[in-house]
Structure 1
Amino acid sequence: MDAKRVKQILSSSADVDVKYNGASVWIDALNDDQRTATVHLRGPRLEERTIVEIHELVEE
């Protein structure tokens, strides 16, 4: 995925299915370096956030 698509997903009201290492994640923010994003796993009470390289994110 690229920074432009991450920005589109963040500004969209649609529920976009994004995976990181096979797990569904929510993108919380595109980081200032434009190469990483802060994400957390989808699901109830899964609030632990992780910084990942955006090229590792896959839109399903």
Structure 2
Amino acid sequence: MASKGGDELVKYITEKVVIYMEDPRSRRSEVPKQPWSQKWFGMLPLGLSIWRSKWNRKNKE
């Protein structure tokens, strides 16, 4: 059962790599880059919550 899901994942990744490699470099560079605020917005709350939990554990000891 797990093999089928793994096969589909490998197929999907392979398709994405082939599409990426077939695109000319000039076209790849035309894609607008994602602003850092959008990229890291999901990581900041996670990092703050981990930092806060470590801080709370130190205060309890």
| TM-score computed with the length of structure 2 as normaliser | 0.19
Report which of the two has the higher share of strand.
1
Which one scores higher on RCO, CA 8 angstroms, separation ≥ 6? 1
Report which of the two has the higher share of helix.
2
For the pair shown, which has the larger CA radius of gyration, 1 or 2?
2
